[in-house]
Structure 1
Amino acid sequence: MLNKQIFVSYGEQAKKMTKELLEKIDLKAELKKDDLIALKPNLVNASSSEKGATTDPQIAAALIEYLINKGFEKLIIIEGSWVGADTDNAFLKCGYQELAAKYEIPLYNLQKSSYKQKKVLDMEIEIAEIALKVDYLINLPVLKGHCQTNITCALKNLKGCLSDQEKRRFHRIGLHKSIAYLNKALKQDLIIVDGIYGDLDFEEGGNAVKMNRILAAKDPVLVDSYAAELLGYHISEIPYLQIAAEIGVGNNNLDKAEIIEMNKDQAADINYNSSKIEQLTKKIKAKNACSACYGSLIHALKRLAERGKLKRINQAIYLGQAYQAKEIAGLGIGNCCNQAAEFVKGCPPSAKEIIDFLNDQNM
């Protein structure tokens, strides 16, 4: 697997999709039998993955089974929840305690870890010692919005490897430089992004958007740049991406990325019971829509609402396989709606592509 590649699998069967990705990228070829391999999920709080905040334990289960079956036995799970949350409770409520018991994998609560100062350029960062000791770090972030940095994905997920004191300091001195420098101090070797559910705009969850995808990549800057566009942001709106690229953490030029889609999402009935999301979907007419396409549209409409442009959309917005080969009077989203007078290409399009399209039509 090359640093420029991002593999995408669509669907909602997290364990099956993850195993297929691991076989495709041939993870075993990168590992030595005696490597200490750490899985770092996002367990910001004690909530199920369907709430849009935490990593689906089935992704971790798929990794553990794959690695054990290939003869790798030195596996651990590491995490430190956000300040004010109890990591041990998150391990329990998010399904990781059961996972650890089943596969006899140690859990490391990084809120109770010993820490080591590591200097990066002009900054010293206090990082959990066990995280620094591992030979191969597999990062399992969630694709979701964030109230301060707009998105959180691979780069920001490493904050869980800090002491609570250091997490507070990051907020005090500025998150963007701190996140970028942390990733210079602590290298992640593989990223598996849980993009099945992710919150609309808040890292704690509660307004989950179903995006129905799992990503695999090696470059955290590149995959976060891709994630930004999936959620409707320009890379320039996430300052830590530029900083991380400048100090050599990775590449933020998506023109150099090789996006490899392994399959397509399947149409399904989608029902959102979040009042925040319902407000965004009033003009949507969806029939047999895929979650991946619908999710991109919701993120796009959220970005337009934040910019005061949502009310300017004066036509119905159509998406879904039921509209294939049918003339549509309104706006079409995705290739299924290519008979609309105006439509955005893609299967699925990203939120940024939808925003650009809607701006051209209505703004």
Structure 2
Amino acid sequence: MEKNEILVNYGEKIDDMAYALAEAANLADLIGPRERRIGLKPNLVVPRPAEEGATTHPEIARGLIRYLQKNGFRNILILEGSWVGARTEDAFPRCGYTALASDLGVELLDTKTDKAHSYDCKGMEIEICDSAMAVDFMINLPVMKGHCQTLLTCALKNNKGIMPDREKRRFHTLGLDKPIAHLNTKVKNDFILVDGICGDLDFEEGGNPVYSGKLYAARDPVLCDAWTATQMGYRVEEIPYIGLAEKLGVGCADPAKAVIREISPPLPGKAPVPSGKVRQFTSYIKEDRSCSACYANLIFALSRLERAELNRLKEKVCIGQGFQDKPGKLGVGRCTASFSASLKGCPPAGADIITFLREN
């Protein structure tokens, strides 16, 4: 797998999807010697099940560990520290990781109990947990989701979980963006596998999941987050830590330079049943057998529009395979190609949908 590639997999059996991505990326070759210590860093910010949109599905870790063990890797560690105010020791069992670690015989470490040392992160001193710095190869398992302060959280921000709580508190006093960028100049981001199954629309702690039904892998955390931003309807410049990380040499912040390789197509007819805040946007949509990824990006886009912009829409936005070869006025995705106003893409990015709706 090249540094500028993003591999995307759609499906329903999450552990098999993760296994297939590891195979497609030739992960074993990226890791190297079988005795290397491998860390898996999920997002378990709060003790809530992954279906609520906040935490990493344990099936992702299960699929990866199956792949690693089949390829001869045995020195595997799952490590995480929940946010300040939540206990990782509650999150591990609630999120399914205690049973997972027991079943597969891997270590499970609460970084809140770990020692930490200060490192020079290109001009900013930051404390990082010893266990994270001791691994030879780190696999970052973030959730693609919104955040009430930084708008987006994915690969770069997920590394806050390998710092002590006192450092997490300091990050907030510094405004998050700058310290997140500097942190990633030192921590390891050797392989990233993003949980894009049903991340929350707005909040890090979940509650408004948007079902996308995909996982994707990357090696460049900056490019990963830049591409994720466009899928969720943001311009990269709206997420300051992405550009700051690029300036510090962490990676590339231009999503146009990402080479997207789908190893399976989106599942047809798998549009989600909207829940929570997501329901308010369904009145603007006319859906007929849409794929989950396309539908999710439309929901993300509608959520970014101002109420006045939504009210100016003259037509419902059509989406789904039921509109193929049919006439219509306003549609997104290649299934609406015969419409008078249609946005290409399978699926189109959320940022492109926003521009399209504003122009039509």
The residue type paired with residue 358 of structure 2 is N
- The correspondence of residues 169-188 of structure 1 with structure 2, limited to 5 A, is 169-188=170-189
Residues 268-320 of structure 1, C-alpha deviations (whole Å, 9 max, x = no match)? 354535342111110211111111000000000000137x4222212111111
- The correspondence of residues 68-147 of structure 1 with structure 2, limited to 5 A, is 68-147=69-148
Shift of the 334–273 alpha-carbon distance from structure 1 to 2, 3 Å rule, reads closer
Distance, in Å, in 2 between the alignment partners of 1:303 and 1:212 is: 21
How many residue pairs get aligned? The number is: 359
Structure 2 contact 237–243 (Cα < 8 Å) conserved: yes
Structure 1 contact 12–196 (Cα < 8 Å) conserved: no
Query: Displacement of 1:122 after TM fit?
Result: 2.4
Structure 1 contact 116–127 (Cα < 8 Å) conserved: yes
Distance, in Å, in 1 between the alignment partners of 2:249 and 2:120 is: 15
Distance, in Å, in 2 between the alignment partners of 1:263 and 1:69 is: 23
Distance, in Å, in 1 between the alignment partners of 2:55 and 2:319 is: 28
Aligned to 1:61: 62
Structure 2 contact 50–57 (Cα < 8 Å) conserved: yes
Aligned to 1:312: 312
Structure 1 contact 244–250 (Cα < 8 Å) conserved: yes
- Match of 2:128, SS state, is strand
Residues 72-97 of structure 1, C-alpha deviations (whole Å, 9 max, x = no match)? 00000000001111101111000000
Distance, in Å, in 2 between the alignment partners of 1:200 and 1:326 is: 31
Residues 34-57 of structure 1, C-alpha deviations (whole Å, 9 max, x = no match)? 100000000011111111110010
- The correspondence of residues 205-220 of structure 1 with structure 2, limited to 5 A, is 205-220=206-221
- The correspondence of residues 311-350 of structure 1 with structure 2, limited to 5 A, is 311-328=311-328, 330-350=329-349
Which ranges of structure 2 fall in alignment gaps of 5 or more residues? none
Report the TM-score, using the length of structure 1 for normalisation.
Answer: 0.97
The residue type paired with residue 237 of structure 1 is E
Give the fraction of aligned pairs with identical amino acids, expressed as a percent: 46
Residues 119-172 of structure 1, C-alpha deviations (whole Å, 9 max, x = no match)? 123211111100001000000000001100010000000000011110010000
Residues 95-114 of structure 1, C-alpha deviations (whole Å, 9 max, x = no match)? 00000000111111011111
Distance, in Å, in 2 between the alignment partners of 1:270 and 1:260 is: 22
Structure 1 contact 11–196 (Cα < 8 Å) conserved: no
Aligned to 2:15: 15
Structure 1 contact 143–153 (Cα < 8 Å) conserved: yes
- Match of 1:137, SS state, is strand
Aligned to 1:357: 356
Distance, in Å, in 2 between the alignment partners of 1:113 and 1:134 is: 14
Distance, in Å, in 2 between the alignment partners of 1:251 and 1:99 is: 34
Do structure 1's residue 290 and structure 2's residue 303 form an aligned pair? no
Residues 165-203 of structure 1, C-alpha deviations (whole Å, 9 max, x = no match)? 100100001100100011011121000000011000111
- The correspondence of residues 153-192 of structure 1 with structure 2, limited to 5 A, is 153-192=154-193
Aligned to 1:41: 42
Report the TM-score, using the length of structure 2 for normalisation.
Answer: 0.97
Query: Displacement of 1:348 after TM fit?
Result: 0.6
Structure 1 contact 51–207 (Cα < 8 Å) conserved: yes
- Name the Cα RMSD after superposition: 1.1
Structure 2 contact 122–248 (Cα < 8 Å) conserved: no
Which ranges of 4 or more aligned residues in structure 1 deviate by more than 6 Å? none
The residue type paired with residue 24 of structure 1 is A
Query: Displacement of 1:337 after TM fit?
Result: 1.1
Query: Displacement of 1:227 after TM fit?
Result: 0.2
Distance, in Å, in 1 between the alignment partners of 2:272 and 2:140 is: 30
- Match of 1:282, SS state, is helix
Structure 2 contact 272–292 (Cα < 8 Å) conserved: no
Distance, in Å, in 2 between the alignment partners of 1:213 and 1:275 is: 21
